[in-house]
Amino acid sequence: GQQVMQIPQYQHVQEGEDFTTYCNSSTTLSNIQWYKQRPGGHPVFLIQLVKSGEVKKQKRLTFQFGEAKKNSSLHITATQTTDVGTYFCAGPWVRGNTPLVFGKGTRLSVIA
């Protein structure tokens, strides 16, 4: 079946180091969305990428959508302890009004 895969599953970094998580879909996505879930919390919407090759930035976060609309990445520059949490990518397939399918997430821990 259709799947969204994310790597790595876990990432431990020293505060100030960079962090990247990668998302790959088995089929073309209509768009890709990124969410952050803090420990004990619920997923919070970060951003949506729609266009092939799109790049968006939010302060220290850079999001990319691949040319084939099957992969995406989230890069955090100079991580801070407030970046701790699990980052999920999610996308609907190119078939109309379909629900989001989530990747397994990347759990980020930042050591001060």
Partner 1 sequence: GAVVSQHPSWVICKSGTSVKIECRSLDFQATTMFWYRQFPKQSLMLMATSNEGSKATYEQGVEKDKFLINHASLTLSTLTVTSAHPEDSSFYICSARYKDGTVQETQYFGPGTRLLVL
The count of chain residues that interact with partner 1, using the rule CB under 8 A, is: 22
Query: Which residue is it, tokens 């090759």?
Result: 53
Task: Compute the least distance from the CB of residue 76 to partner 1, in Å.
Answer: 20
The residue within the footprint of partner 1, chosen from 19, 88, 108, 110 (CB under 8 A), is 88
Q: Find out whether the peptide bond into 8 is cis, omega within 30 degrees of 0.
A: yes
90, amino acid identity: A
The beta strands (E) that lie in 1-112 are given as 4-7, 10-14, 19-25, 32-37, 44-49, 55-58, 61-65, 71-76, 85-91, 101-102, 106-111
| Residue number with CB closer to partner 1 (63 or 88) | 88
Q: Which of residues 23-82 bind partner 1 (CB under 8 A)?
A: 30-31, 33, 35, 41-45, 48, 50
Q: For residue 78, which of 61, 100, 98 has the smallest C-alpha distance? A: 61
Task: Compute the least distance from the CB of residue 77 to partner 1, in Å.
Answer: 25
Task: Compute the least distance from the CB of residue 86 to partner 1, in Å.
Answer: 9
**Residues near partner 1 (CB under 8 A):** 30-31, 33, 35, 41-45, 48, 50, 88, 90, 97, 99-105, 107
